[in-house]
Amino acid sequence: MKKKLFVPLFFVVLMLVAWTRLNTPTTHQFSEDTSKDKLLMELIAYFMQRGHFDPKDISNDFSEDLYNTFLEMLDGQKRYFLKKDIAQFDRYKYALDDEFRALQTNFFDLVYTLYLERRNETKLFYLEILEKPFDFTKKEEINVDYENQQHPGTLRQKTEKWRKQLKLSTLNILHNKLEEEEKLAAKDKSYVPKTFETLEEEARGITRENMENYFSLMEDVREEDWFGSYLNAFVTQFDPHSVYFAPVDKDRFDASMSGKYEGIGARLTKRNQVIKIVDVISGGPIWRDQSIEVGDQIMMVRQEEGDPVDVQSMRLDDAIKLIKGPAETTVYLTIKRVDGTIEEVAIKRDTVELEESYLKSSLIQKGGKTFGLIHLPKFYVDFKDYKERNAAKDMEQEIIRLKQQGVQGLVIDLRNNGGGSLQTVVDMAGFFIDEGPVVQVKTSDAGSKVLKDRDGKTLWDGPLVIMVNELSASASEILAAAMQDYERAVVLGSKQTFGKGTVQNIIELNRFVSKSTYGDLGALKFTTEKFYRITGKSTQLEGVYSDVVAPDQYAYVDIGEKDEENPLMWDQIASATFSKWDGYQNYKQVIEESASRVARDTLFQLIDKNAKWVREQQDKNDFSLNYKLFSDEIAKDESFADQFEILNEYSNALTFESLPYELSKMKTDTLLAEKRKRWKKSLNKDMYVNEAVSILEALDLNFIGRKPLALQR
């Protein structure tokens, strides 16, 4: 089984359209005289069956898949439930379709009750296991291929399984500690290394602390959270990108897609019943006021009206709800400083922009020529107002700024870009062509429609390279495919991109009920359409094949759409009418020369060898719990990995510079300056950027009948 309990923030293409696929859905009378859980079951089943692009028959086969998915979500490593528990669950294996139709939660109630019982049972014996030293001279192994294992039959077998898992965790920590001691002793001849026994005790202590933190976090997960997982197990049977959002998850999704939220500008964590500041977001209220620092503890939260609320024993999500709030309002936080002092701090909330969500650019200097690089992490958009900041508007502005600096070629870096708004990618593609189709979109019950660029203008008419990898998905694939089909850009990167060719819509579930007693019901994101290249071919499963394939670390790892559970199938529709771009004289020749250059490069060959080795390491399931054998195996791996160190020493001959507007910002924003410094350092070690620039240098523009770049407006 490959099913995953996921955080659905990536691999999305979203249409900013109203809900139209159902025939007047509000005429359906939902059961509002029942529990919230049952109402959610009814709503989600109704919309998935009537609105999904490829609706499924909720049958016995569906029930079996739902059953397996939910149990894997709860206990994928088979370390809680016993065989006798599974025997109890099995009577529901082919009955969950009937339960959803009858709005019954018997299966969930049973599983959840037994899960809590087994988890509490585990809490009792894991501390006992960690009280005594492990015998690392004993020859024994652990197999971590949980998929092909059975659940333990008895409590004794379950305890033994946990003992081995805790021993492996401790062994990893112990090995690292012993290596640290060796380094200290080598550096300082007078240093007396700690004994094996002392380090073993310290390692066990860290394992115990990690487990205590884990169970503390699990205690914060409420029944409604697990029921949300059960609903998601149902939804993901239709396809891997449909998901039920509980209210807090929908807020996170919106913040991720827009790159902003309203609050104080800090990231928080909870550990040992303590909520702490772990990051201050550049440009946010706390960053501006310098009133709170990383490491400070939040004890109480008070609004403009009302008494302080103690958040120390509160769930982190609930505490965050109190701290966040509308811009221009004030929240009062009782803070315990790192030095132990306690004071109340007033913070005026504001709109906080997550700088890492937005595109960034750099000038590239090589041999007296200037090129531009734009890194786009996602196709972000504000769903409430498309006129607000979005990826297309920012891209347009950045291209204009780069042109003002006289760049002679442009690289768009879409590596690890999981997608986002469909409208932004259509607008963005228009910057590189005069006019024409960009993508085709098809519903299951209607013909396809062609989304076009119609403005008749080209913002960037120069050499263009699109960089992708296996994690470039959805909207990234639309842009790369369109530029490839027009022969407008050279696509450089992995053999193929992720392969997500579906479109999702989001509906707020509260729209379809009249009562407000249930509170926020959350939202449903589900697949309603598929998109196709302008040639008519789907990117579903296949993705986009790069013009120039450059091996990378993901080359042999199962991370594409084809490796997901329940993906929709590949298909093809009629081609749209379009003409290829005529701006290059040597397009195909440049691709051939670049591919040949990459194939000959010894460092790229080494990257490919490293990628194969990484896959072999991931496929290893058996580990020795004997310290010497475990250590020998690591030494063997490290010796083999030494040959790849040369990759870390690589540095290209390119010079990277920020644009003038950003240099001005960095004079006062030291955090931004440090982030850009680190980014440019990573770019200097990026072989793919170096090859992209070589491609830009080689592309020969055909200006016959076209305006030179300098004359364009």
Per DSSP, what are the bridge partners of residue 443? 529
Res. 631: pLDDT tops 70: yes
pLDDT, greater one: 708 or 393: 393
pLDDT in tens, 596-614: 999 999 999 999 999 999 8
Nearest to 706 by CA among 583, 584, 585: 583
Question: What mean pLDDT is predicted for residues 457-471?
Answer: 96
> Which pLDDT does position 300 carry in this prediction?
86
> Which pLDDT does position 688 carry in this prediction?
97
Residue 170 has φ and ψ, to the nearest 5°, of -65, -40
Instruction: Measure Cα distances from 64 to 53, 97, 466 in Å.
Output: 22, 9, 43
> Which pLDDT does position 8 carry in this prediction?
35
SS3 string, 594-651, reads HHHHHHHCHHHHHHHHHHHHHHHHHCCCEEECCHHHHHHHHHHHHHHHHHHHHHHHCC
> Which pLDDT does position 79 carry in this prediction?
94
Q: Given pLDDT bands bounded at 50, 70 and 90, which one contains residue 17?
A: very low
Choice among 69-78, 180-189, 308-317, 406-415 with the minimum mean pLDDT: 308-317
Q: Given pLDDT bands bounded at 50, 70 and 90, which one contains residue 267?
A: confident
DSSP secondary structure string, 164-198? HHHHHHHHHHHHHHHHHHHHHHHH-TT--PPPHHH
Res. 689: pLDDT tops 80: yes
Res. 705: pLDDT tops 80: no
Q: Given pLDDT bands bounded at 50, 70 and 90, which one contains residue 289?
A: confident
- Cβ–Cβ < 8 Å for 483, 544: no
Res. 150: pLDDT tops 90: yes
Choice among 440-444, 445-449, 510-514 with the minimum mean pLDDT: 445-449
> Which pLDDT does position 14 carry in this prediction?
55
Question: What mean pLDDT is predicted for residues 328-332?
Answer: 91
Res. 94: pLDDT tops 70: yes
Domain 260-353 sits in CATH at: 2.30.42.10
Nearest to 553 by CA among 634, 639, 613, 603: 613
Res. 376: pLDDT tops 50: yes
Q: Given pLDDT bands bounded at 50, 70 and 90, which one contains residue 517?
A: confident
Res. 542: pLDDT tops 70: yes
Res. 196: pLDDT tops 60: yes
pLDDT, greater one: 629 or 12: 629
Per DSSP, what are the bridge partners of residue 466? 412, 491
> Which pLDDT does position 11 carry in this prediction?
46
Average pLDDT for the chain: 89
Pick the CATH number of 356-711 from 3.40.640.10, 3.40.50.300, 3.90.226.10, 3.40.1370.10: 3.90.226.10
> Which pLDDT does position 216 carry in this prediction?
85
Res. 712: pLDDT tops 70: no
Integer Cα distance of 240 and 244 in angstroms: 12
Delimit the CATH 3.90.226.10 region(s) of the chain: 356-711
**Highest mean pLDDT (candidates 255-269, 426-440, 699-713):** 426-440
- Cβ–Cβ < 8 Å for 402, 712: no
Q: What percent of the chain has pLDDT over 70?
A: 93
Question: What mean pLDDT is predicted for residues 283-294?
Answer: 84
- Cβ–Cβ < 8 Å for 658, 631: no
Question: What mean pLDDT is predicted for residues 16-34?
Answer: 56
The amino acid at residue 403 is K
Delimit the CATH 2.30.42.10 region(s) of the chain: 260-353
> Which pLDDT does position 630 carry in this prediction?
94
